[in-house]
Chains A and B, each alone.
Chain A
Amino acid sequence: MPTEQLKQDNNEQESLFLPNFCSFKVVFAVLIMGELLAFILTLAPLNVEQQRWNDLALISLFIQWNGLMCSSSLCFLRARTKKYSNKTVAFISYFSLLFMIILLSEFTFYVMIENKITDLISDVSHWEFLFHNVSIGAIISALALRYFYIQHQWRLKIQAENSAKLKLLQARIRPHFLFNSMNSIASLTRTKPEVAERITEDLAELFRMLIREDNELISWAREKELSQRYIDIEKQRLGERLSVQWQVDDIPDDAMVPALLIQPLLENAIFHGIEPEIKGGEIKVTGTLTHNQLIIVLQNTSSTNTAHRKGNKMALDNINKRLYAHFHGQALIACQEKDDVYCVTLSLPYQKKSAL
């Protein structure tokens, strides 16, 4: 598929840690950095002589040549090293940079000596000149590559964080549910406007809770109410096919639980267990309180075609993370499938609002 291909290309370019040395902007930055380096090298020696500005000009010329040659070699390599890993590219780049510096140093040395242009290097031997240049070049190149690498890592981290956020949001809101509910509302607006109104209110309340950034605790009474609103919406759509049985009187209303703990599980049960069956099915929610620990069990008949359970896993992971954030090792979530019954068990400590 062409779209997929495009995405892959983008990824490849994104994953190369070097910036594009073929672009004007990057080369310009190289020139500026080179000039700054020339200033440093001119200012660094402590024995002050009058020739300083003359030296700056020559050092600048040499460094700019180096910068341009190195940039063009990296530009040249960019297209040819696409399929290699970052490690290999770093290795190749580093040695090609050193090679360029050696080449230019040699060239400069001979031109200078032959034409006796300056006495700046007249009192150093050939090997000393080469050694100095290559050492400085090696250090600067290594620093530059390291810098690009760290910047690249940082960019990757930002990307990963963004996509994780998006995934989290999707784990909480299944687009399938949103659009189907919209369709129900569109239909009810014609026939039963008062039901449409109520469903819209339910949906608004549910989404207000869904899009909250912070992972807060709410009372069980509130959690139960939100879950029932969700079931109300789905009932409009599925009618007789969906039946939910609540046996949760044992759970005290003031128990604090992470907001929307049950709703994603109900949604999974409907998506995987109820919707694929012509006759529908039943979801059973049972809750007990033993030894100050709340046990909530959610059971549904599982569908015969268990084609994809990826969405399911995502929701479970998400709930697990949120439970851990509040209760650390004291809470757990487990699921099992036995004889066509899918069962999720939640266990968390009983905490009253006042205790928090």
Chain B
Amino acid sequence: MKILIVDDEPLARERLASLLKEIDTRYYLIEAANGLEAIEQVNNEEPDIVLMDIRMPGMNGLEATQHLMGLDNPPAIIFSTAYDEYALQAFESQAVDYLLKPIRKERLEKALDNCSKLNKLQLEQLGLQNQEIPHRSHISAQIRGSILLIAVKEIVCFLADHKYTTVKYYQDNVVIETVIEDTLKSLEEEFSDTFLRIHRNALIRKNMIEALEKQADGRAVLKIKGLDYGLEVSRRHLSNVRKLLKSA
């Protein structure tokens, strides 16, 4: 069995590793120091179980879990935390298994025995109740069984088609695009402080807006950094765009 230990503190990882080795020497152990590394490891190694710390720099455990759940066959997750009021409340209300550090060997053994997979509903509720992350730091897409992470701060805009949501983002100074599963509506709610809805089908990063132009046919078009064509602003959202441009 392959187990991934995720914790930002080397001592905490060390201890978990030695406890796991005592429980069963056949465990194959891999480690990660934060949420981003955890996802990379899951992509590369496909572990069966992930022991996930909550409070980590870069990307915390709850967000990493959220991205992992996007996989068709996600690993089972066991959370661990030293003390985190909000997370503990969330776990208890969702009856999700979690370990308190310092972790007892017997308790770890029990958690490994009956570790079950989280369902998406539970996870959503955990995210809602955890007040420490108001929104994700990354958006994820599943590509050929592995997770592609897109940092929110690299994103230019989200565009909706009939069925799909596309995200346009910078990668090595070039704007590329990927299809994601989130809906424009949920993204708008989650990132309301950094993104602005300009049309039924477009959500734009506020600081990417360059200028508002009036076309000859009366349509309002927004020039966006990194895009060589303008995006149409619907009449309903025009006043919000104007307000933003005025305040900037």
Q: Of the 9-residue stretches B4-12, B41-49, B182-190, B197-205, which lies at the interface with chain A?
A: B4-12
1/0 contact string of B40-84 vs chain A (CB within 8 Å): 000000000000000101100000000000000000000000111
A128 at the interface (CB under 8 A from B): no
With A and B bound together, what is the CA distance between A194 and B131 in angstroms? 39
CB-CB under 8 A from B89, the residues of chain A are 1
Partner among B8, B11, B133 whose Cβ is within 8 Å of the Cβ of A183: B11
User: Nearest Cβ distance between residue B82 and chain A, in whole angstroms?
Assistant: 4
* Residues 20 to 49 of chain A near chain B (Cβ within 8 Å): none
- B12-A187 in contact (CB<8A): yes
- A183-B12 in contact (CB<8A): yes
A268 at the interface (CB under 8 A from B): no
A186 at the interface (CB under 8 A from B): yes
User: What DSSP secondary structure best describes chain B's contact surface?
Assistant: loop
- A275-B133 in contact (CB<8A): no
- With A190-B15, A237-B11: A183-B93 Cβ-Cβ less than 8 Å: no
1/0 contact string of B9-24 vs chain A (CB within 8 Å): 1111011001000000
- A176-B84 in contact (CB<8A): yes
- A190-B101 in contact (CB<8A): no
With A and B bound together, what is the CA distance between A277 and B59 in angstroms? 10
CB-CB under 8 A from A277, the residues of chain B are 57-58
- B132-A308 in contact (CB<8A): yes
CB-CB under 8 A from B57, the residues of chain A are 275-278, 280
CB-CB under 8 A from B133, the residues of chain A are 307
A182 at the interface (CB under 8 A from B): yes
B145 at the interface (CB under 8 A from A): no
A248 at the interface (CB under 8 A from B): no
B166 at the interface (CB under 8 A from A): no
Partner among A175, A187, A236 whose Cβ is within 8 Å of the Cβ of B15: A187
CB-CB under 8 A from B12, the residues of chain A are 183-184, 187, 237
User: Nearest Cβ distance between residue A241 and chain B, in whole angstroms?
Assistant: 8
User: Nearest Cβ distance between residue B51 and chain A, in whole angstroms?
Assistant: 13
- A239-B15 in contact (CB<8A): no
- A278-B34 in contact (CB<8A): yes
1/0 contact string of A296-319 vs chain B (CB within 8 Å): 000000000001100000000000
CB-CB under 8 A from A175, the residues of chain B are 83
1/0 contact string of A171-203 vs chain B (CB within 8 Å): 000011011101111111011000000000000
Size band of the interface chain A makes with B: 20 to 34
With A and B bound together, what is the CA distance between A280 and B34 in angstroms? 13
With A and B bound together, what is the CA distance between A97 and B52 in angstroms? 63
- A275-B11 in contact (CB<8A): no
Partner among A1, A185, A239 whose Cβ is within 8 Å of the Cβ of B93: A1
A238 at the interface (CB under 8 A from B): yes
CB-CB under 8 A from B58, the residues of chain A are 277-278
CB-CB under 8 A from B55, the residues of chain A are 275
1/0 contact string of B87-112 vs chain A (CB within 8 Å): 00100010000001110000000000
CB-CB under 8 A from A183, the residues of chain B are 9, 11-12, 15, 82, 101-102
Partner among A1, A238, A278 whose Cβ is within 8 Å of the Cβ of B9: A238
- With A186-B102, A307-B132: A180-B9 Cβ-Cβ less than 8 Å: yes
CB-CB under 8 A from B131, the residues of chain A are 307-308
Of chain B, the residue at the smallest CB distance from A271 is B55
Q: Which of the listed residues A176, A183, A188 has the most CB atoms from chain B within 10 Å of its own CB?
A: A183
* Residues 145 to 193 of chain B near chain A (Cβ within 8 Å): none
With A and B bound together, what is the CA distance between A198 and B14 in angstroms? 19
With A and B bound together, what is the CA distance between A176 and B33 in angstroms? 19
- With A183-B101, A277-B57: A176-B83 Cβ-Cβ less than 8 Å: yes
Q: Which of the listed residues B57, B133, B134 has the most CB atoms from chain A within 10 Å of its own CB?
A: B57
CB-CB under 8 A from A276, the residues of chain B are 57
CB-CB under 8 A from A180, the residues of chain B are 9, 82-83, 101
With A and B bound together, what is the CA distance between A186 and B132 in angstroms? 27
With A and B bound together, what is the CA distance between A276 and B56 in angstroms? 6
Partner among A178, A187, A280, A308 whose Cβ is within 8 Å of the Cβ of B11: A187
With A and B bound together, what is the CA distance between A180 and B57 in angstroms? 15
* Residues 142 to 186 of chain A near chain B (Cβ within 8 Å): 175-176, 178-180, 182-186
Of chain B, the residue at the smallest CB distance from A180 is B82
* Residues 37 to 78 of chain A near chain B (Cβ within 8 Å): none
With A and B bound together, what is the CA distance between A175 and B100 in angstroms? 13
15 contacts between A and B (CB under 8 A): A1-B89, A179-B100, A179-B101, A180-B9, A182-B82, A182-B101, A184-B12, A186-B15, A190-B14, A190-B18, A236-B11, A237-B9, A239-B10, A275-B8, A278-B33
Chain A residues near B (Cβ < 8 Å): 1, 175-176, 178-180, 182-188, 190-191, 236-239, 275-278, 280, 307-308
Chain B residues near A (Cβ < 8 Å): 8-12, 14-15, 18, 33-34, 55, 57-58, 82-84, 89, 93, 100-102, 131-134
Closest 4 CB pairs of A and B: A187-B15, A179-B82, A186-B102, A187-B11
